């Protein structure tokens, strides 16, 4: 707020205070002795029994009008300077757009609700109600949005287990793309369920006779800044559970990530080409790395992590096919690892240029 704006704001509050002070003072002061309002009204035909006394006033209308005029001028000046009252929060509930929440297909309702929330201005909350189950095909929630969005995932979002639904994009189920200042709040009850069993049994790591194919990441955040994801449960991903890619300024806290120890390639939290990320106070147990940090990532803080089962906390793999790869500024503090195949490790390919 610049100096001119501060002066106008101060003037506004002084004027409002003056308005009410003078109003009260004038209301308490008796009329001048030389003039009797009541006698004049009676002589003019006013009947005090027919009309209550609040139809009369002892306020000097000239002074009051002057105060109202001053207040109007100050408000007009504040509006010109962009000083306005805080906008109210708009709530967008997926059920209002046709979602049933009975574990049947609700993809279109979520897409419509997202379009409404992302296009709205001001503070917006997108609600996924508690106690309901929403089955979803792959969805890309694309930005940029006109507002600072909060998504309250208090119910359960469950992936379609029909593999043909993923023909257009075999690598993602839910993806948030190019959305800044996003807050996702799970409230401890929110659940993201990848329904990964159908994918695991068709993995080449489980069935050696099958070709190796991509499987979707359950929850992806791509090219976003100032992102918060908290108090959310993510389970049974098709492959990776949560991925942060090309993001900057991430806080992930209070997450619970769970999949069977036998589930293939089900990394808990995957960090790639992302910087300034804090992963804190989370419990992760999967069939692969609890946290994996790969090339292009820097300033990664992992604190108070409970890991296991799984493969531990890993930097890498780095430098596949003799490529250059770099990761820097990684801190792991207060981690508890139990039932893992490794602790905290760095993985590199031979003949690579990884650092």
- For a pLDDT cut of 90, what percent of the chain falls above it? 69
Q: Once rounded to an integer, what is the mean pLDDT over residues 279-293?
A: 99
Beta carbons within 8 Å of 336's beta carbon, 6+ residues apart:
305, 306, 307, 308
Q: Once rounded to an integer, what is the mean pLDDT over residues 125-154?
A: 98
Beta carbons within 8 Å of 281's beta carbon, 6+ residues apart:
253, 254, 303, 304
- pLDDT higher for 327 or 324? 327
Tell me the CA distances in angstroms from 202 to 28, 198, 212, 238, 265, one per residue in order.
85, 7, 9, 11, 12
The most confident of 22-26, 31-35, 298-302, 343-347, by mean pLDDT? 298-302
In the structure, what pLDDT confidence band is assigned to residue 320 with cuts at 50, 70 and 90? confident
Please choose, from the candidates 298, 303, 354, the residue with its C-alpha nearest in 3D space to the C-alpha of residue 329. Answer: 298
Please say if the pLDDT value at position 330 is more than 90: yes
So what's the pLDDT on residue 41?
A: 45
Whether 223 is catalytic is: no
So what's the pLDDT on residue 88?
A: 86
So what's the pLDDT on residue 3?
A: 52
So what's the pLDDT on residue 53?
A: 45
Catalytic residue among 172, 241, 270, 311: 311
CATH superfamily of 90-354: Single-stranded right-handed beta-helix, Pectin lyase-like (2.160.20.10)
Q: Cα(312)–Cα(223) distance, rounded to whole angstroms?
A: 27
Task: Return the minimum-mean-pLDDT range out of 9-23, 56-70, 194-208, 218-232.
Answer: 9-23
- pLDDT higher for 17 or 261? 261
Please say if the pLDDT value at position 20 is more than 50: no
So what's the pLDDT on residue 290?
A: 99
Q: Cα(190)–Cα(256) distance, rounded to whole angstroms?
A: 10
So what's the pLDDT on residue 324?
A: 86
So what's the pLDDT on residue 50?
A: 47
Q: Cα(183)–Cα(151) distance, rounded to whole angstroms?
A: 6
So what's the pLDDT on residue 59?
A: 46
- pLDDT tens string 44-99: 454 555 444 444 444 445 554 565 566 566 556 656 665 555 568 999 999 999 99
Q: DSSP code of 176?
A: E
C-beta atoms surrounding 327 within 10 Å: 20
Please say if the pLDDT value at position 234 is more than 50: yes
Q: Which residues pair with 354 in a beta bridge?
A: 325
Please say if the pLDDT value at position 214 is more than 60: yes
- For a pLDDT cut of 70, what percent of the chain falls above it? 74
In the structure, what pLDDT confidence band is assigned to residue 26 with cuts at 50, 70 and 90? very low
Residue 293, judged by CB atoms within 10 A of its CB (0-12, 13-18, 19+), counts as buried
Task: Return the minimum-mean-pLDDT range out of 151-165, 208-222, 291-305, 340-354.
Answer: 340-354
Model pTM score? 0.76
Please say if the pLDDT value at position 17 is more than 60: no
């Amino acid at each position: 707020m610049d100096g001119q704006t501060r002066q106008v704001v101060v003037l506004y509050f002084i004027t409002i205070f003056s308005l009410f002070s003078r109003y009260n003072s004038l209301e308490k002061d008796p009329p001048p002795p030389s003039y009797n309002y009541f006698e004049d009204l009676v002589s003019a035909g006013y009947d005090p029994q027919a009309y209550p006394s609040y139809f009369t006033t002892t306020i000097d209308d000239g002074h009051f009008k002057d105060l109202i005029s001053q207040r109007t001028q100050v408000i007009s000046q504040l509006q010109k300077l962009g000083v306005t009252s805080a906008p109210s929060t708009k709530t967008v509930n997926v059920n209002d757009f046709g979602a049933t929440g009975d574990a049947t297909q609700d993809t279109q309702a979520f897409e419509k609700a997202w379009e409404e929330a992302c296009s709205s201005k001001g503070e917006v909350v997108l609600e996924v109600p508690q106690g309901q189950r929403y089955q979803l095909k792959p969805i890309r929630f694309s930005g940029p949005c006109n507002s600072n969005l909060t998504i309250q995932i208090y119910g359960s979002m469950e992936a379609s287990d029909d593999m043909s639904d993923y023909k257009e994009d075999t690598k993602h189920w839910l993806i948030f793309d190019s959305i800044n200042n996003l807050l996702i709040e799970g409230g401890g009850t929110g659940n993201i369920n990848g329904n990964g069993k159908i994918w695991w049994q068709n993995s080449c790591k489980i069935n050696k006779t099958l070709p190796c194919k991509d499987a979707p990441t359950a929850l992806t955040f791509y090219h976003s800044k100032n992102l918060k994801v908290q108090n959310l449960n993510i389970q049974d991903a098709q492959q990776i559970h949560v991925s942060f890619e090309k993001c900057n300024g991430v806080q992930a806290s209070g997450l619970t990530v769970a999949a069977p120890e036998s589930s293939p390639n089900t990394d808990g939290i995957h960090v790639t080409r992302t910087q300034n990320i804090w992963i804190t106070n989370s419990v992760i147990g999967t069939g692969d790395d609890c946290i994996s940090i790969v090339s292009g990532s820097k300033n990664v803080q992992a604190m108070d992590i409970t890991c296991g089962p799984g493969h531990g906390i890993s930097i890498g793999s780095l430098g596949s096919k003799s490529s250059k790869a770099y990761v820097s500024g990684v801190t792991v503090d207060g981690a508890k690892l139990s039932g893992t195949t490794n602790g905290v490790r760095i993985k590199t390919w031979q003949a690579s240029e990884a650092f």
